[in-house]
Amino acid sequence: MSIHLRPVASEKAVKLMDLENTLVFETNRNARKESLKAEIEKLFNVKIAKIRTSVRANKKFAYVKFNVKNPAADLATRLGLI
């Protein structure tokens, strides 16, 4: 199964990035936390501390909190969010 990740650049997402070292991704509805963690760590070469998920308006969002050694702002810059 292939996982589609789309970074979210809303006001709330930017606030979470600054305050909680967290990035928000829109992903497949059937993606599991374990596979999301493995895919993100492999793609971006970062360590993840925690993943929370939420389903709203028939879309699944993954809130990915990074390890302190991996600032979310650095990854957001690489992704072109900032």
Query: Phi/psi at 52 (nearest 5 deg)?
Result: -120, 150
Q: Look at the domain 6-79 and name its fold.
A: Alpha-Beta Plaits (3.30.70)
pLDDT one-digit tens code per residue, 5-53: 999 999 999 999 999 999 999 999 999 999 999 999 999 999 999 999 9
Residue 63: predicted pLDDT = 97
Length of the chain: 82
Residue 82: predicted pLDDT = 81
Give CA–CA dist 56/70, Å, rounded: 28
DSSP-assigned states of every residue in 12-79: HHHHHHHHHSEEEEEE-TT--HHHHHHHHHHHHT--EEEEEEEEETTEEEEEEEEPTTS-HHHHHHHH
This prediction has a pTM of 0.92
Give CA–CA dist 47/5, Å, rounded: 17
